[in-house]
């Protein structure tokens, strides 16, 4: 009984390390074979349509609502200290620094990451990838790399759109609905938000999240057992792993970027 458990544990550990090594080699192969993704940029643009453009609606709508909720909740709290004018700072800083990149990345992982895994997993299950290899077409260069770069390019754009919509939502609720002074809303926001330290760091975060999510999604799809069950399991793992990776990476990046600030 105990021996079985120990054997199981060891087996799982070895499998985990094995997969980790394979994932690293896979990511390196994707980077090495990225030439086609840029030479035939049409391929990447096609994938940007599926990962970026089709994620727009969910990103824009959730950004607007997150901003509106921030406006309402922030006003409630700030009002007790008589500093409603700082609402602009609260909405803008929390969106640009944290919520924009992180929530957009979580939505991107569940909207686009799962689709990538399912697509590639199914391509593998129906032996389309093997067929490509038979025709001397490298599936990594033709199928995987364009999706990788499409995700990496789309993610910061989506995060920026999320933050912009959020600020707009906060403005709608704070200024138009509740009646915070419009001038001080924007002026205080502008004096507190710095381009390099806040906006640019948010963009760097979203690029890192984009790399992490698409790499995990592509690998899970490529590594999925070629059965219906295997593809469904891989899709679930993509969403869980990439969401956890985004949150963990966010902590590390925040510790690097905003330590020693203020």
In contact, 160 and 100? CB cutoff 8 Å: yes
Residue 53 binds to another protein (criterion: CB under 8 A): yes
Distance (Å, whole) CA 155 – CA 193? 22
Shortest Å, Cβ 23 to another protein: 29
Q: Does 56 bind another protein (CB under 8 A)?
A: yes
Q: Contact between 87 and another protein (CB under 8 A)? A: no
First-to-final CA distance of the chain: 56
- Spatial neighbors of 212 by CB under 8 A, at least 6 apart, are 242, 245, 246, 249
Size of the site for another protein (CB under 8 A): 33
Residue 77 in contact with another protein, rule: CB under 8 A: no
Instruction: Pick the closer one to another protein by CB: 57 or 240.
Output: 57
**Alpha-carbon span 98 to 156, nearest angstrom:** 13
Neighbour-count burial of 238, counting CB atoms closer than 10 A to its CB (0-12 exposed, 13-18 middle, 19+ buried): buried
Which of 250, 218, 198 has the alpha carbon at shortest distance from 145?
218
- Residue 132 Cβ vs another protein, minimum distance, rounded to whole Å: 20
- x/- mask, another protein, residues 146-165, rule CB under 8 A, reads --------x-xxx-xx-xxx
259 interacts with another protein by CB under 8 A: no
Q: Does 90 bind another protein (CB under 8 A)?
A: no
Is the Cβ of residue 86 or residue 215 nearer to another protein in the bound state?
86
Taking the C-alpha atoms of residue 101 and residue 199, their distance in angstroms, rounded to an integer, is 10
Of the pair 70, 234, the CB lying nearest another protein is at: 70
Question: Minimum Å distance from CB 81 to another protein?
Answer: 9
Which of these, 190, 191, 147, lies nearest to 167 by C-alpha position?
A: 190
Q: Is residue 96 involved in binding another protein (CB under 8 A)?
A: yes
Distance of alpha carbon 59 from the chain centroid: 11
The DSSP call for residue 54 is G
Interface with another protein, residue 38, by CB under 8 A: no
> Which lies closer to another protein via its Cβ, residue 27 or residue 164?
164
Single out the residue of 98, 122, 186, 253 in contact with another protein (rule: CB under 8 A).
186
Q: Which residue stretch of 6-14, 18-26, 46-54, 65-73 sits at the interface with another protein (rule: CB under 8 A)?
A: 46-54
Footprint (CB under 8 A) of another protein, residues 187-226: 189-191, 193-196, 198-199, 202-203
d(CA 26, CA 91): 40
Residue 48 lies near another protein (rule: CB under 8 A): yes
Q: Find the length of the chain.
A: 262
116 in Cβ contact with 220 (< 8 Å): no
Tell me how far apart the alpha carbons of residues 241 and 221 are, in angstroms, rounded to a whole number: 13
The yes or no reply on residue 49 touching another protein (CB under 8 A) is yes
Binding site for another protein (CB under 8 A): 42, 45-46, 48-49, 52-53, 56, 92, 96, 154, 156-158, 160-161, 163-165, 167, 186, 189-191, 193-196, 198-199, 202-203, 262
């Amino acid at each position: 009984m105990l021996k079985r458990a120990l054997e199981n544990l060891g087996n799982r550990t070895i499998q985990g390390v094995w997969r980790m090594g394979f994932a690293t080699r896979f990511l390196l192969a994707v980077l090495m074979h990225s030439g086609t993704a840029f030479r035939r940029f049409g391929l990447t643009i096609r994938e940007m349509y599926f990962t970026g453009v089709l994620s727009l609606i969910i990103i824009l709508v959730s950004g607007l609502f997150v901003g509106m909720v921030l406006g309402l909740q922030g006003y409630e709290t700030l009002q007790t200290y008589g500093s409603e004018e700082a609402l602009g700072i609260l909405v803008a800083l929390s969106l640009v620094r944290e919520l924009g990149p992180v929530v957009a990345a979580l939505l991107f992982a569940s909207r686009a990451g799962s689709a990538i895994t399912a697509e590639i997993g199914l391509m593998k299950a129906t032996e389309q990838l093997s067929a490509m290899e038979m025709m001397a077409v490298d599936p990594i260069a033709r199928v995987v790399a364009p999706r990788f770069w499409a995700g990496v390019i789309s993610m910061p754009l989506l995060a920026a759109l999320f933050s912009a919509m959020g600020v707009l939502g906060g403005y709608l609720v704070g200024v138009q609905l509740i009646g915070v002074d419009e001038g001080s809303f924007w002026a205080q926001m502008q004096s507190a938000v710095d381009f390099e330290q806040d906006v640019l760091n948010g963009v760097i975060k979203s690029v890192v999240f984009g790399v992490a999510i698409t790499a995990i999604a592509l690998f899970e799809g490529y590594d999925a057992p070629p059965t219906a069950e295997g593809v469904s399991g891989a899709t679930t793992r993509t969403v869980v792993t990439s969401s956890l990776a985004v949150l963990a990476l966010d902590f590390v990046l925040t510790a690097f970027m905003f330590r020693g600030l203020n």
